[in-house]
Amino acid sequence: MNTTIVPPAADPRPVTDRTAVGEHLALPLFRSLSGSLAGHPYLKVVVDRVEDTWHLLDTAVHPFHVDYIATRVLGMEPAELDSCLDAFNASVYMAPDRRFLLGVLSLHTDEDTEGRRRPFLVLETTEADTMDGSLLEEFYTYVRHRLDGRLPLLLKPANHGQEHALTPISDVRVPRILSHELFGHRTRTPLNPGEASGRLRHFRTTEEYAAAAGALGGSDILAMPCLPDDVPRVAGFINTAATTPLSHTNVLAAGWGIPNAVVRDLDRLIDAESLAGGWVRYRVTEDDISLVPLAPAAVPAAPARRQQRIRLQTPLLDDISARPLRRLRREDQNRYGTKAANLGELHHVLDARTADLTAFHGQPRPPRPDLYRHLAARLGTTHPAAPGQLRAAAADFVAGTVGAPDGIALPFGLQHRFVTSSPALRQGIDRLKAALDRGALDAVEPLCLRLQQLVRTAAFPDEVSREIVRALPAGPAAGRRLVVRSSANAEDLPGFSAAGVYDSVTSVYGADQLLDAVRRVWASLLSPRSVRLRHQAGISLDDTYMGVIVQPYVPADLGGVLVTCNPTKRADFRNVCLNCSPGSPEAVVDGTALPLQYLYNTVEGGGRTVALGSSGTDLPAATRERLAQLALAGRLLQSHFSAPDVDRPLDIEWLMTDQGAFHLVQIRPYAR
């Protein structure tokens, strides 16, 4: 069936709708109708069970199944659909007796035993679809019988619920592939969108990188298997081995606005295109990654880098009193640092239960005026409900799902007293500031290293050491293991996360080790890398101070990071991305282990496994359900911690104890 669509007046050329109804599908027809999604050709499919036919949608004309069904099959006006969109979605995605089965066919290739590439198709529904096993089998069988028999067809469950529903059905009747099997080892994966022109610098080993790191600059595109956390600011990143979008280096890429992607076949591309050491145009989008060689005449002049300016609140240095985290609020960040203040605010949110945690769901998501109906469904409450009832349900859900860590916060005033008590430290800082002011960057590293050594060895004033030792647990908790974390005023800020820049010490016992750990955290404020990054952001040494958090160590069965967005699809308001590994969150953020990766839909519900990481096996279904609750709690906390811009996502580090309790150990804005 062919239909001519009248285009907007600005473009007088007719657009042909090549949507096919009832036709047998072979590759030529597939390619004529398909678009591109995540680098793979794809085609939208609608099966009409009443008419016993199927529709193969022209992707360029029909980006949404629901719009096509409503307007083209059922004859509804667009305004009529908008007025009942949620109810209509429920009728096609959730009703057990639904008329339509909706899905996507995507084209992939693999190698046979002789190394020959062969195409195969994958069928899946939308992530929010609640098809049971019998409907999934019916859908697969219907498509299989109308498809070129030479093309293998696999069904990909769209969420954990569909995986479970397919368990009793033979994979002979319904051959299947899981999401992490299809995409977990794919050759190219976008991580952070952007575009840059620069010189491609490819290092196959850390030794090669170390030998050249000092010469890297803003016109280089750095490629290597695992980018180090202390990477200098360059034009772009390329990972030649698998990684996660929640790594420290991708957080840096997002904050710097530079492209980043996994390109596992870079060696082949370099050889095929003669890219080694040459200039390239590097572009990363949600759906594509490209590296195009540039002729010398086409190399653009390096643009002047716009100086990023981060405004800091005036630090308050008069108070040297250690204070329990639960007594802090967000406004205490100018005395105790953003990390400590955010954890204190978390205590307040969980204890008082008066914060509005529904604001994200209250934003218009056209054509919906809000998402309150979906939130009520996730919380198990009735809708419509009074706003106060929904807010109370959200507050109770979060308080019942997550906890805030105990601990003591040490203020900026202690570090200030320590520094001012040492003439050598004061003189060294003055020399460092002078070097930065005159642009003598070669002198910065040795000056920083000397200052760090002085911090680690200078004597404590008695009043400072007494206040630090007061943070030690007393009574039955005395002698237990502690964790000492940074809480600077120049971290966890919108536009400047400083992820992985400052030190934490995760195994501390007794007074002497505590004093040494505090010194180490203070010294990290003067590391060459932290000084360089703050200088690039326009943050003066005079304005920068370090608080410290002292916490009891909490053993973790599972730990990780979640961000309340989909890092690779910025317009996706539904999903929360969650990474985890056995043990503490540090294993995820520092790249020592490839984490399990999940996406959880916090609007319609459901989750899916994106990658199994280093573990090689998925978590039990009950644990994945608990992680879905954690993801929703993170989304609700975004309403408070990101106000007034409730669409600004959060970056949350968390751990799960052997009793299944969640503790949030850090909350900060997610750089994007």
DSSP code per residue over 68-85? HIIIIIS---HHHHHHTH
Name the band, by pLDDT with cuts 50, 70 and 90, for residue 12.
very low
pTM: 0.89
414, 320 in Cβ contact below 8 A?
yes
Rounded-to-integer distance, Cα 220 and Cα 279, Å: 9
**Mean pLDDT of all residues in 97-126:** 89
Which range (41-55, 211-225, 351-365, 637-651) has the least confidence? 211-225
User: Rounded to whole angstroms, how far apart are CA atoms 609 and 155?
Assistant: 15
The candidate with the shortest Cα–Cα distance to 283, out of 273, 295, 292, is: 292
User: Is-cis flag, bond preceding 296, omega within 30?
Assistant: no
Residue 7 pLDDT: 37
pLDDT at 327: 97
pLDDT above 90 covers a percentage of the chain that reads: 70
| Cα gap 306→308, rounded to integer Å | 6
Candidate ranges 161-175, 492-506, 560-574; pick with highest mean pLDDT:
161-175
Structure-token pair, residue 322: 């250690």
- What SS3 class is residue 305? coil
How buried is 311 (Cβ within 10 angstroms: 0-12 exposed, 13-18 middle, 19+ buried)? Answer: exposed
- Res 2: pLDDT: 32
CA distance 403 to 143: 47
Among 490, 471, 485, 578, residue whose Cα is nearest residue 532: 490
Answer yes or no: is pLDDT of 8 > 60.
no
Tokens of 440: 């003598």
Q: Do 188-296 and 340-404+555-669 come out as alike in CATH topology?
A: no
Residues 207-217: tens digit of each pLDDT? 999 999 888 88
Instruction: Give the Å distances, CA to CA, from 16 to 3, 7, 32, 506.
Output: 6, 10, 12, 63
pLDDT digits (tens, 9 = 90+) for 622-640: 999 999 999 999 999 999 9
Residues with Cβ < 8 Å from 648, sequence gap 6 or more?
494, 638, 642, 669, 670
**Highest CATH level, class, for 411-552:** alpha beta
Q: Domain 340-404+555-669's class?
A: alpha beta
Asked which of 167-171, 184-188, 592-596 is least confident by mean pLDDT, the reply is 184-188
Our separate counts of H helices and E strands in the chain read: 23, 28
pLDDT tens digits for range 439-481: 888 899 999 999 999 999 999 999 999 999 999 988 777 889 9
Q: What is the pLDDT of residue 315?
A: 93
* Angle subtended at Cα 212 by Cα 210 and Cα 213, rounded to the nearest 5 degrees: 65
What does DSSP assign to residue 233?
A: P
Is the Cβ–Cβ distance between 23 and 56 less than 8 Å? yes
pLDDT of residue 1: 32
Phi first, then psi: give them for residue 258, nearest 5 degrees: -115, 150
User: For 235-249, 294-308, 497-511, which range has the lowest pLDDT when averaged over its residues?
Assistant: 294-308
Once rounded to an integer, what is the mean pLDDT over residues 515-526? 97
Q: 592: burial class by Cβ within 10 Å (0-12, 13-18, 19+)?
A: exposed
Give the distance, in angstroms, between the CA of residue 388 and the centroid of all CA atoms in the same chain. Answer: 31
Residue 299, judged by CB atoms within 10 A of its CB (0-12, 13-18, 19+), counts as middle
Query: For residues 672 and 563, which has the higher predicted lDDT (pLDDT)?
Result: 563
43 phi and psi angles, rounded to 5 deg: -145, 135
Where does the pLDDT of residue 64 fall: very low under 50, low under 70, confident under 90, or very high at 90 and above?
very high
Specify whether the CB–CB gap between 191 and 284 falls below 8 A.
Answer: yes
Question: Which distant-in-sequence residues (6+ apart) come within 8 Å of 38 by Cβ?
Answer: 183, 190, 286, 287
CA–CA distance from 586 to each of 150, 247, 623 (Å)?
Answer: 48, 10, 20
Q: For 128-150, write each residue's pLDDT tens digit.
A: 899 999 999 999 999 999 999 99
The CB-side HSE value for 290 (13 A sphere, CA atoms) comes to 11
Q: What is the overall mean pLDDT for the chain?
A: 90
What mean pLDDT is predicted for residues 11-30?
Answer: 84
Q: Which CATH superfamily is domain 188-296 in?
A: Phosphohistidine domain (3.50.30.10)
CB 451 within 8 A of CB 432: yes
Q: What is the mean pLDDT of residues 113-137?
A: 90
Domain ranges of the chain: 3-177, 188-296, 340-404+555-669, 411-552
The pLDDT confidence band at residue 308, using thresholds 50, 70 and 90, is low
Render pLDDT for 612-625 as a digit per residue (tens, 0 to 9): 988 889 999 999 99
